[in-house]
Homo-oligomer: A and B are copies of this chain.
Amino acid sequence: MRKSIATVSVSGTLTEKLTAVAAAGFDGVEIFENDLLACPLPPEEIRARAADLGLTIDLYQPFRDFEGVPRARLRANLERAEHKFRLMRRLGADLLLVCSNVSPETIGDDGLAAEHLRLLAERAAGHGIRVAYEALAWGRHVNEYLHAWNIVRQADHPNLGTCLDSFHILSRGSDPLGIEAIPGEKIFFLQLADAPLLAMDVLQWSRHHRCFPGQGGFDVAGLVRHALNAGYVGPLSLEVFNDHFRQAGTGRTARDGMRSLIALERQLQGVAHPSVPSGFAFAELSGTGSLNGVLPALGFARTGRHRGKPVELWSQGAARLLVNATGTGPEPAGAVSPGPVVGAAASAGPAHAAGAGPGLVAIGLDNPDPGRAVAHAESLLSPVLPRERAPQDAPLHAVAAPDGTEIFFCDDAWLADFAPEGTGGTGATGATGITHIDHVALAQPPHYFDEAALFYRGVLGLQPQESLEVPDPYGLVRSRAMSTPPMSTPPGSTPPGSTPQEPGVRMVLNLAQVGAGQPPPQHVALAGADVLAVARRLRAEHPELLLPIPANYYDDLEARHDVPPELRELGVLYDRDPNGGAFLHLYTVTVGRVFFEIVQRIDGYAGYGAVNAPIRLAAQHHGSRTEPPMMSE
**Best-buried of A38, A84, A248, A617 by chain B (most CB within 10 Å):** A38
Which residues of B lie under 8 Å from residue A559 when comparing CB positions?
Answer: 79-80, 83-84
With beta carbons under 8 angstroms apart, the residue of B204, B249, B615, B632 that contacts A38 is B615
A40 in contact (CB, < 8 A): yes
- Determine whether the beta carbon of B13 is less than 8 Å from that of A621: yes
- Contact between B246 and A515 (Cβ–Cβ < 8 Å)? yes
The answer, yes or no, to whether A548 is at the interface (CB within 8 Å) is yes
The stretch that binds B, out of A294-302, A339-347, A406-414, A469-477, is A469-477
> Using Cβ atoms and an 8 Å threshold, which residues of chain B touch A560?
80
The interface-forming segment of A194-202, A259-267, A416-424 is A194-202
Q: Which residue of B lies closest to A512 (CB)?
A: B247
B interface footprint on A525-568 (CB within 8 Å = 1, 0 otherwise): 00000000000000000000000101111011011100000000
Tell whether A34 is near chain B: CB-to-CB under 8 Å: yes
Instruction: Indicate whether A519 reaches chain B with its CB closer than 8 angstroms.
Output: no
A66 to chain B, nearest CB (A): 12
Does A335 lie at the interface of the complex (its beta carbon under 8 Å from any beta carbon of B)?
Answer: no
Is the CB–CB distance between A628 and B13 below 8 Å? yes
Compute how far the CA of A409 lies from the CA of B114 in the bound complex, rounded to whole angstroms: 61
Most buried by B among A12, A20, A252: A12
Across the interface, do A622 and B40 meet the contact criterion of CB distance under 8 Å?
A: yes
Given known A201-B200, A515-B447, A628-B250, contact A476–B243 (CB-CB < 8 A): yes
Any B CB within 8 A of the CB of A72: no
Q: Does A614 make an interface contact (CB < 8 A)?
A: yes
The 8 A CB mask of A12-30 against B (1 = contact, 0 = none) is 1100100010000000000
- Are A11 and B250 in contact, with the CB atoms below 8 A? no
Is A178 an interface residue, CB under 8 A from the partner? Answer: no
Q: Is the CB of B633 within 8 A of A473?
A: no
Interfacial chain B residues near A43, Cβ < 8 Å: 552
A310 at the interface (CB under 8 A from B): no
Q: Which chain A residues in 1-49 approach chain B with CB under 8 Å?
A: 11-13, 16, 20, 33-34, 36-40, 42-43
CB distance A37 to B556 under 8 Å?
A: yes
Contact with B along A456-498 (1 / 0, CB 8 A): 0000000000000001111110000000000000000000000
- Chain B residues near A384 (CB, 8 Å)? none
Q: Which residues of chain B are within 8 angstroms of A630 by Cβ–Cβ distance?
A: 11-12, 16, 248-250
Question: Which A-B residue pairs are the 5 nearest by beta carbons?
Answer: A83-B559, A38-B618, A247-B515, A199-B201, A200-B200
Please name 15 further chain A to chain B contacts, defined as beta carbons within 8 Å, in addition to the given A39-B552, A248-B630, A249-B515, sorted by A numbering. A11-B630, A13-B622, A16-B631, A38-B550, A38-B614, A40-B551, A80-B559, A83-B556, A83-B558, A84-B559, A199-B204, A243-B475, A246-B475, A247-B515, A250-B630
